[in-house]
Every structure is written in structure tokens, then in C-alpha cells.
Amino acid sequence: MTTKDWGAIYKEMGAKPVVNATGSVTLLGGSTPVPEVKAAMDAADSAYIPLIELEQVAGDHIAEMLGVPAAYVTSGAGSALTLATAAFMAGTDDDKVQQLPDTTGMPNEILIQKRQRYWYDRCLELAGAKLVEIGDENGTSEEDLRNAINEKTAAVHYVVYEQKPTDPNVLTLEQVIEITHAAGKPVSVDAAGQVYPLENFGKYIKMGADFQCIAAKYMGAPHSTGFALGTKEVIDAISRHSFVGYEGRRIRGIGRPQKIDRQEIMGVVAAVKRWLTLNHEDRLSFAESQSQAILKPLQGIPGVRAELNTNIMGHQPFGAIVALDPDIVGFTNDDLVEKLRDGEPSIWARVSLDAPQIELHVFGMGEGEPELVGNAIAALVKG
């Protein structure tokens, strides 16, 4: 890991490369394309192609592989959320497409349960929509949802984290779909990280949702890629709001800045194909062995709790959980994060938002880096 070539391209410009112990986070670059994806992207260089056509055939291939009606490649899952919101509000009316983000005369409210508010729901507002909370901190009832849906409602949004414990105070997706569709409105699902188990990969459309997003970076595609899944009507509307609609149809939609190139589109197709045929037992076994390599030097150190994260669902399997007793070690979890970041090489980790512990992920680690991280932590806590 600590070869002279590691991060050399950054060092030459005076920038400092880091060891990524945080995972597939945008802050650090998100992903490293796998060889199959790089090969597809290189092959895409051989010719130009109208991107309206490429988006259509690529989406058809992805939809067929996943068994859903339609798909569309976007510049990340966040882009898919924004384009879907535009589609829910303006549909395929070219005049309305060009009117956004001015939503005058359109349904422009996206309903979301209060307890489901999250960091990335901001993407839903970028096309001009207004987020409207239903329920309160104590939960949401079916009656709350029924009463909230009106002529201003563009869609009801739902976020899925299957790897986390079910919140009993939140309406289930099944309840949301039933109530929302009965009122004649669409359901949007953020399932950006739900790529494993494979039965979860696209299942929310099969359950009846009208749209869901996925971040392709989790499958070895470029960090800047994702895709939308949905009904043919929603995906058609998304295409009209997208950058190719802007250029190919000369309709000035809000999606123009969210451009994606032909190489990335083909990379996403290759990533999906690989993911569906990959030996996931081997993938998980490797991630577990990397995680155990972090933990090995941390066992038996006073004041240090170091244990395996046993989750295999979603996009970041396994990992290590580390928590310090400051009365014994002499500093806190937050202090450890800073000490790791200030080290050489710099190791980036972060304290969990859900518990007083550091969650280390191996998603972004290369050869020898898990051992380096474990040894660095051990050296710091031993003083």
C-alpha cells in the first residue's frame, strides 16, 4: 500500500491522498471503477453516438436485466431524484418542462414522513418542488397521509434503508403505495444503496412504486453515475427533462447541468451486468477478511471496543466498529478521528451519527490498507 506510486498523481500537484476508511462517500470520491467497467468505458471511446438513442437502449438493457418496465442512466442517484421530481410536477408537457423551476399551475408538493427526513431529500427540491412533512416526530398514521394528499401533491416520497432496524412508527412502503395510488398520485422511492441482496435490487418498482433511484457507484461504476427505475411513463418524462432532452429536442429543461457521457452510460450497463452475475459469496468473504484485518491488532487493548460489523445488506458489507472509553484511553472517538486524519498517511474515518462509535468501512480500501488502519489505531490508543 505504501508504495512510492500510491497517490503520486495527486502528490505531484501538491494535494494529499488519503486512506479511505469511511467507505463509498462522495467526500472522498465515492468509488473505483472495476476492470469490466473500465473496459466498457474504453470501448465506448471508439465511436460517437446520439445520446438520446444510447440512453434509450442502455435503459432498455438495464430494465430487462432487472425485470422492471423502464430505466434511465443519470449523473448519480441525486440526479435521478431531481429529474423524477420534475417529471412528477411537469410531466411531458414541453411548456411546463421549460417553465421549471417555476411551478406555477403545477402540483409541486412532495410529501415525506417527518421521521423519514434525511440528508439527501434536498435533491427533491432542486426542480422547484416543496417538501411537505406528514406526521410528526412520534410517527405517521394512515389518516395523516390520506389527509395530506391534495391537488397540490406531486408525489409521496419514501426512503429505504433495509440494513437498518424497521421503524415501527413509520408507514410501510406497502401502506404508502396503497394509500397514495388510491388517491391517484405516484410514489417515489430513494433506494440508492439497496443493491444487495439481489432480490432487493429494483424490487420497489415491482412492489408498485412509480420510481426508484440507485447509485451505480456501489457496483463498481464511476462515482458520478446512477440510474432511475420506474414506469414507462415516469422514465419517458425523466428523459424529456434530462440533458439529452435539452440538447436533442432543444427543450430547455432543468436537467441540462446533470450531464453524463457515453463512456459512463456504457460503464453503468457493464456494472449492472457484472453485479447480477458476480459471485457475491466471494465478495462478502473478502470484505469480511478485510474487516478482520482491521480488528486483529485492536483486540485486548484496555478501553477499546473493537468488533465486526456483521451487516451484509445494502452497499457496504461488514466493516469494523471501534469505540473508545476516554477515561481509560485518554481521548475520545472524535479525537481519534482527528489523530488518524493528521497521521502519515492520512486515514479518513468518522464517528457514526447513530451511536457513539467509529464505523470503519472497507469499501474503499486497497491492498494492505486494512492492516495499516488497524495498526494505526492500535498505535494511537496504546500511546
- Per-residue pLDDT tens for 216-241? 999 999 999 999 999 999 999 999 99
Half-sphere exposure of 270 (CA within 13 A, CB side): 21
Domains of the chain: 8-30+279-382 (3.90.1150.180), 35-277 (3.40.640.10)
Q: How confident is the model at residue 342, as a pLDDT?
A: 97
For the cut 70, the answer to whether the pLDDT of residue 124 exceeds it is yes
Per DSSP, 139 falls in state B
Q: Reply yes or no on whether the pLDDT at 314 is more than 60.
A: yes
Q: Tens of pLDDT along 26-55?
A: 999 999 999 999 999 999 999 999 999 999
> Cα 74 to chain center, whole Å?
12
% of the chain exceeding 90 in pLDDT? 98
296-305 pLDDT, tens per residue?
Answer: 999 999 999 9
184: phi > 0 → left, psi -120 to 50 → alpha, else beta; which? left
Q: 55: Cβ–Cβ under 8 A, 6 or more apart, which residues? A: 72, 73, 239, 242, 244, 265
Q: What's the confidence (pLDDT) of residue 34?
A: 97
β-pair partners for 228: 72, 213
Q: What mean pLDDT do residues 332-338 have?
A: 97
Mean pLDDT of the residues in the chain: 96
What pLDDT, on the 0 to 100 scale, is given for residue 203?
A: 96
Written as nine digits, the cell of 142 is 394512515
What is the structure's pLDDT at 127? 97
CA distance 203 to 229: 10
- CA–CA separation, 268 and 216 (whole Å): 6
Instruction: Give the pLDDT confidence score for residue 2 in this predicted structure.
Output: 55
The pLDDT value given to residue 4: 73
Confidence at residue 205, expressed as pLDDT on a 0 to 100 scale: 98
- What gap in Å lies between CA 128 and CA 111, rounded to an integer? 14
Average pLDDT over residues 326-339: 97
Q: Residue 111 is placed in which grid cell? A: 410529501
Q: What per-residue confidence (pLDDT) applies to 59?
A: 98
Residue 352 has pLDDT above 60, yes or no: yes
Q: Cβ atoms within 10 A of the Cβ of 269, count? A: 25
* Residue 265 near residue 58, CB atoms below 8 Å: yes
pLDDT at 383: 78
pLDDT reported for residue 41: 98
Q: Where are the alpha helices (DSSP H) in the chain?
A: 8-11, 35-44, 51-66, 77-90, 94-99, 142-148, 173-182, 203-207, 232-241, 243-248, 262-277, 280-295, 326-329, 333-342, 369-382
Amino acid (one-letter) located at 38:
K
Q: pLDDT digits over 61-111, tens only?
A: 999 999 999 999 999 999 999 999 999 999 999 999 999 999 999 999 999
